[in-house]
Amino acid sequence: MLAIVVIPALLILWIITSIRRHNKSGLKDIPNAHFSVPYSRLWLLSIRWRKKENRSRIYLHRRLGPVVRLAPRELSVNCVEDGIRTIYSAKFDKDADFYHALVDQTGFMVTMIGNDEHRRRRRMLAHPYSNSYITNSGTIDNILSRVKHRLQEGMAQWASTGASVDVYMQAKCSMLDVVTGFLFGSENATDTLLDPSFENDLTTLTQATTKNLHVRTSLEWPMSYFASWIGGNVRPDPVARSRWEEWLTQVITNSYRSHPTKPSSTASLYDHFYDNFKAADPEMSLNDMASFIAVECDDHLSASHIGLGILLSYTMYELSRAPHWQHALRKELGTLNEPSELSLAHRLPNLRVLDAVVTETMRTRAPCPGPFPRLVPESGCRLVGKFDVPGGTVVSSSAWALHFNPDPFPVPDEWRPQRWLEADEKTEVEMRKWIWTFGSGARVCIGTHFSARVMKELLITIYSNYETLLDEEFTESVEQEDVFSSSPLAGRIQLKFRRLTQPDTMVVA
Ligand code: HEM
User: Atom 20 (ligand 1): residue with closest C-alpha?
Assistant: 445
Amino acid 55 reads: R
- Find, among 308, 245, 317, 285, the residue nearest to 496 by Cα: 317
Q: Which residues pair with 76 in a beta bridge?
A: 68, 396
Q: How far is the CA of 245 from the centre of ligand 1 (A)?
A: 22
Please, which pLDDT band fits residue 156 given cuts at 50, 70 and 90? very high
Please, which pLDDT band fits residue 281 given cuts at 50, 70 and 90? confident
Q: How far is the CA of 47 from the centre of ligand 1 (A)?
A: 25
State the number of CA atoms in the 13 A half-sphere of 34 facing the CB: 17
Average pLDDT rounded to a whole number, residues 30-48: 96
Pair 495, 468: CB distance under 8 Å: yes
pLDDT score for 193: 96
Q: How far is the CA of 263 from the centre of ligand 1 (A)?
A: 28
pTM of the model: 0.93
- Total residue count of the chain as it appears in this document: 509
pLDDT score for 117: 86
Pair 404, 58: CB distance under 8 Å: yes
pLDDT score for 504: 45
Percentage, residues of the chain above pLDDT 70: 92
Q: Is the pLDDT of residue 49 over 70?
A: yes
Which range among 71-80, 135-144, 213-222 shows the weakest confidence by mean pLDDT?
A: 213-222
pLDDT score for 406: 98
Instruction: Say whether 368 counts as a known binding-site residue.
Output: no
Instruction: Give yes or no for residue 124 CB within 6 A of ligand 1.
Output: no
Instruction: Give yes or no for residue 134 CB within 6 A of ligand 1.
Output: no
Instruction: Give yes or no for residue 171 CB within 6 A of ligand 1.
Output: no
Q: Dump strand ranges (E) for 381-454.
A: 381-383, 387-389, 394-396
Average pLDDT rounded to a whole number, residues 312-334: 97
Distances (CA, A) of 409 to 258, 404, 419, 433: 50, 7, 8, 12
Q: How far is the CA of 446 from the centre of ligand 1 (A)?
A: 6
User: Over the chain, what is the mean pLDDT?
Assistant: 92
Indicate the SS3 state at residue 254.
Answer: helix
Q: Is the pLDDT of residue 224 over 90?
A: no
Q: Is the pLDDT of residue 234 over 50?
A: yes
Report which ligand 1 atom has the smallest distance to the Cα of 94.
Answer: 16
pLDDT score for 4: 73
Average pLDDT rounded to a whole number, residues 9-35: 78
Instruction: Give yes or no for residue 450 CB within 6 A of ligand 1.
Output: yes
Q: How far is the CA of 238 from the centre of ligand 1 (A)?
A: 26
Percentage, residues of the chain above pLDDT 90: 76
CA distance 175 to 178: 5
pLDDT score for 425: 97
Between 289 and 419, the higher pLDDT residue:
419
pLDDT in tens, 456-507: 999 999 999 999 999 999 999 999 999 999 999 999 999 999 999 864 455 5
| CA R_g for the chain | 24
Q: Is the pLDDT of residue 329 over 50?
A: yes
CA distance 478 to 466: 22
Instruction: Give yes or no for residue 311 CB within 6 A of ligand 1.
Output: yes
pLDDT score for 485: 92
pLDDT in tens, 15-27: 667 666 666 678 9
SS (H, E, C) 319-360: HHHCHHHHHHHHHHHHHHHCCCCCCHHHHHHHCHHHHHHHHH
Instruction: Give yes or no for residue 446 CB within 6 A of ligand 1.
Output: yes
From 87, 98, 445, 457, mutation site for ligand 1 pocket: most ligand atoms within 8 A of C-beta: 445
Average pLDDT rounded to a whole number, residues 192-206: 90
Domain spans of the chain, in order of start: 25-505
Instruction: Give yes or no for residue 368 CB within 6 A of ligand 1.
Output: yes
Distances (CA, A) of 45 to 50, 226, 357, 509: 9, 15, 35, 49
CATH of domain 25-505: 1.10.630.10
Which range among 15-24, 78-87, 264-273, 277-286 shows the weakest confidence by mean pLDDT?
A: 15-24
Average pLDDT rounded to a whole number, residues 140-165: 97
Instruction: Give yes or no for residue 92 CB within 6 A of ligand 1.
Output: no
pLDDT in tens, 54-71: 999 999 999 999 999 999
Instruction: Give yes or no for residue 455 CB within 6 A of ligand 1.
Output: no
